[in-house]
Amino acid sequence: MPRPNKVAIVEEITADMKATEAYYLVDFRGITVTEVTDLRSRLRAVEANLTVVKNTLAKRAAAEAGVEGLDDLLRGPTAIAFCRGDLVAPAKVLQGFIREKKKLSIKGGYLQSRVLQPAQVEQLATLPSREELIAKLVGGIAAPLYGLANVLTGPMRGFVVVLDQIREQKAQAA
């Protein structure tokens, strides 16, 4: 008969898996408590949380949540970063932490019903942020409008320049 505390842990992990569209699995070998605390605070800043899990309980939770394909990733020490907001920001935080501390390794991830390999998570981390993408989209939409406005005001601007030159010629003649 399963222990009540383990049942509660499985239920908590299951709820997190169902509530989020993306999460990333990391191997946290060689990381100190201070570094884990630092990583957790960085992840909280981007609306994500890091949970150290026992693999057998995580496998049960994945089965209960209807998530398939995580069994290969759930080997060795595992922590899961569950995303609440931007789906890419936690991957960027994890990659930045790995580059900075030379510790941790990404095992993989899960994004919108799809299991991700470590290389795919690294690719996600290189994507521009949501705000940058929106700015590029707005800039792409605004550029032709700006060009159109510039073309439409061109004849008027030319007419004003011609009138100014005529005024200057008359002023010199007088």
Q: How far apart are CA 138 and CA 74, in angstroms?
A: 41
How confident is the model at residue 162, as a pLDDT? 84
Does 80 lie in the same domain as 149?
no
Tell me if 61 sits within 8 A of 20, measured CB to CB.
Answer: no
Does 133 lie in the same domain as 122?
no
Tell me how many helices (H) and strands (E) the chain has. Answer: 6, 5
**pLDDT (tens digit, 9 = 90+) per residue, 138-160?**
888 877 877 777 778 888 888 88
Q: How far apart are CA 150 and CA 63, in angstroms?
A: 59
Does 74 lie in the same domain as 106?
yes
Q: How far apart are CA 44 and CA 94, in angstroms?
A: 12
Instruction: Collapse the DSSP code of 142 into the 3-class scheme (helix H, G, I; strand E, B; otherwise coil) and give the result.
Output: helix
Task: Identify the H or E element spanning 85.
Answer: none
Q: How far apart are CA 174 and CA 158, in angstroms?
A: 25
Does 171 lie in the same domain as 112?
no
Does 84 lie in the same domain as 8?
yes
Does 163 lie in the same domain as 97?
no
How confident is the model at residue 136, as a pLDDT? 85
Does 56 lie in the same domain as 27?
yes
Does 98 lie in the same domain as 46?
yes
How confident is the model at residue 24, as a pLDDT? 92
Does 108 lie in the same domain as 95?
yes
The ranges of the chain with pLDDT < 50 are none
CA-wise closest residue to 46 among 12, 10, 96, 11: 96
**pTM score:** 0.71
Does 140 lie in the same domain as 120?
no
Range of the domain at 122: 4-127
Query: What is the tally of structural domains in the chain?
Result: 2
Report strand pairing: 105-111 vs 78-83: unpaired
Tell me if 84 sits within 8 A of 21, measured CB to CB.
Answer: no
Does 135 lie in the same domain as 110?
no
Token couple for 106: 């990404």
Residues listed for the chain: 174
Q: Left (φ > 0), alpha (ψ -120 to 50) or beta: where does 109 sit?
A: beta
Q: How far apart are CA 67 and CA 70, in angstroms?
A: 7
